[in-house]
């Protein structure tokens, strides 16, 4: 994660190549679900020209899961009866202390 994804703006930009192949070309709702959990978060997937990103709802997801700069989220697309469902695998950054501390 970069700072704009987890503070102030809370906006996650989606790579255009991925969005063209897998996401609707109009603004729509996406459901995010943590790997192995039942809870889902409705996220607004905002499409503006060639720019696509997660906006409304992303802040709640990021804060609930305590995402930090450097954390990595892997989004796994799943078949959904309606709309888009992504299972999210979160890899937290490891804070390694220098050996002299």
pLDDT tens profile 38-64: 999 999 999 998 899 999 999 999 999
Q: Are 58 and 65 contacting, i.e. CB atoms less than 8 angstroms apart?
A: no
Confidence of residue 94 (pLDDT cuts 50, 70, 90): confident
Q: Name the residue among 41, 87, 85 with its Cα closest to residue 62.
A: 41
- Predicted pLDDT of residue 80: 74
Q: What range defines the domain where residue 41 resides?
A: 3-91
Domain contains 98:
no
Q: How far apart are CA 13 and CA 5, in angstroms?
A: 8
Confidence of residue 88 (pLDDT cuts 50, 70, 90): very high
Number of domains in the chain: 1
Q: Are 29 and 82 contacting, i.e. CB atoms less than 8 angstroms apart?
A: no
Over 80: is that where the pLDDT of 84 sits?
A: yes
Give me the CATH number covering residue 19. 2.40.330.10
Domain contains 97:
no
Domain contains 100:
no
For the entire predicted model, the pTM comes to 0.85
């Amino acid at each position: 994660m970069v700072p704009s994804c987890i503070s102030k703006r809370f906006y996650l930009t989606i790579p255009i190549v991925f969005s063209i192949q897998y996401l609707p070309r109009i603004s729509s709702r996406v459901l995010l679900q943590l790997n192995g959990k039942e809870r889902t978060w409705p996220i607004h997937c905002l499409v503006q020209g060639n720019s696509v990103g997660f906006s409304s709802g992303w802040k709640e997801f990021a804060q609930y899961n305590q995402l930090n700069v450097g954390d990595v989220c892997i989004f796994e697309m799943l078949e959904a009866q309606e709309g888009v469902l992504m299972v999210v695998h979160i890899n937290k950054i490891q804070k390694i202390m220098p050996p002299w501390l």
